[in-house]
């Protein structure tokens, strides 16, 4: 669907981790057409601080509402974390191009690879995938920074965890587990979202093994609608705008 702009009421805005928040917003018009991997560009305040909208992945969408999952990092997300039920946000969405789901008959296994807040779009994507053919790898700084592992497990996905300090799951990186997993598989669809370094490592593994991999990039953005060229990345097809040509790209088209 074409993106639209609207003022949407906050249904809830709850802290779900050390500095993590989940905000539910009443926005049926955007939610009904939203695809996993697309994002909202949110103007948190009517004031000029912060001046620019902030892009956040669509974490959940149903007939009535949307949700975003975010870390209160800088002025935009900190201001968002202070918003209460009943207040309004100015949204543009759904923006960008989401994940493409290969037809079921294409076969192969799926793996979702999430680093930190990268779980936000992947939990939404998981609703379209069969848990019997899909594994999930989630990486976090520590056990306390782990997000959504319980939700994936509840939905029946085999869920693997890595933490930087070893406080939950394997001590190490998501790509350590991915490398182990692929030693037993020859057809794999990888869907990944997380920090740039992680995505680059996932891309290397997938290109080397000729797997289909879709990566959702989280570059800095300004306009969010393809107008300013503030978010371009280099690809085998020339420079592409993350906000309008992505944020999801095939791993083999990205030049790092």
Ligand X SMILES: Cc1cc2nc3c(=O)[nH]c(=O)nc-3n(C[C@H](O)[C@H](O)[C@H](O)COP(=O)(O)OP(=O)(O)OC[C@H]3O[C@@H](n4cnc5c(N)ncnc54)[C@H](O)[C@@H]3O)c2cc1C
For the segment 18-57, give every residue that binds ligand X (CB under 6 A): 39, 50, 54-57
Contact status: 77 vs ligand X (CB under 6 A): yes
Binding partner of 227, given ligand FES, ligand X, none, CB within 5-8 angstroms per partner class = ligand FES
Encoded one letter per residue, x for contact with ligand X by CB under 6 A and - for no contact, window 94-133 reads: -----------------------x--x-------------
CB of 194 to ligand FES, least distance (A): 20
Q: How many residues in the shown chain lie near ligand X by CB under 6 A?
A: 23
Binding partner of 28, given ligand FES, ligand X, none, CB within 5-8 angstroms per partner class = none
Reduce the secondary structure of the chain to three states and give it as a string.
CCCEEEEEEEEEEEECCCCEEEEEEECHHHHCCCCCCCEEEEECCCCCCCCCCEEEECCEECCCEEEEEEECCCHHHHHHHCCCCCCEEEEEEEECECCCCCCHHHCCEEEEEEEHHHHHHHHHHHCCCCHHHEEEEEEECCHHHCCCHHHHHHCCCEEEEEECCCCCCEECCHHHHHHHHHCCCCCEEEEEECCHHHHHHHHHHHHHCCCEEEEECCCCCCCCCCCCCCCEEEECCEEEECCCCCEEEEHHHECC
Encoded one letter per residue, x for contact with ligand X by CB under 6 A and - for no contact, window 217-256 reads: -xxxx-------------------------x---------
The residue nearest ligand X at its CB is 74
Closer Cβ to ligand X, 67 or 137, answer by number:
67
Binding partner of 71, given ligand FES, ligand X, none, CB within 5-8 angstroms per partner class = ligand X
CB of 98 to ligand FES, least distance (A): 16
**Chain residues that interact with ligand X, rule: CB under 6 A:** 39, 50, 54-57, 68-71, 73-78, 117, 120, 218-221, 247
């Amino acid at each position: 669907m074409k993106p639209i702009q609207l003022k949407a009421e906050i249904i809830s805005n709850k802290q779900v981790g050390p500095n993590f928040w989940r905000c539910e917003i009443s926005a049926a018009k955007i939610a009904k057409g939203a695809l996993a991997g697309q994002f909202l560009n949110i103007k948190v305040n009517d004031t000029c601080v912060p001046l620019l909208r902030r892009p956040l992945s669509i974490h959940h969408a149903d007939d009535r509402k949307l949700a975003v999952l975010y870390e209160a990092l800088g002025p935009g997300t900190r201001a968002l974390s202070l918003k209460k039920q009943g207040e309004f946000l100015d949204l543009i969405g759904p923006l960008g191009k989401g994940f493409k789901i290969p037809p079921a008959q294409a076969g192969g296994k799926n793996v979702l690879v999430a680093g930190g807040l990268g779980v936000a779009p992947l939990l939404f994507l998981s609703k379209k995938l069969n848990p019997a053919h899909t594994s999930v790898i989630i990486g976090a700084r520590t056990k306390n920074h782990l997000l959504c592992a319980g939700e994936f497990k509840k939905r029946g996905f085999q869920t693997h965890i890595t933490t930087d300090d070893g406080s939950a799951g394997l001590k190490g990186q998501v790509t350590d587990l991915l490398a182990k997993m692929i030693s037993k598989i020859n057809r794999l669809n990888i869907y990944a979202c997380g920090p740039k370094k992680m995505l680059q490592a996932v891309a290397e593994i997938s290109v080397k093994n000729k797997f289909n991999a879709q990566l959702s990039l989280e570059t800095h953005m300004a306009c969010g609608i393809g107008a300013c060229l503030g978010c371009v990345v280099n690809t085998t097809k020339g420079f592409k705008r993350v906000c309008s040509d992505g944020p999801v790209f095939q791993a083999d088209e990205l030049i790092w």
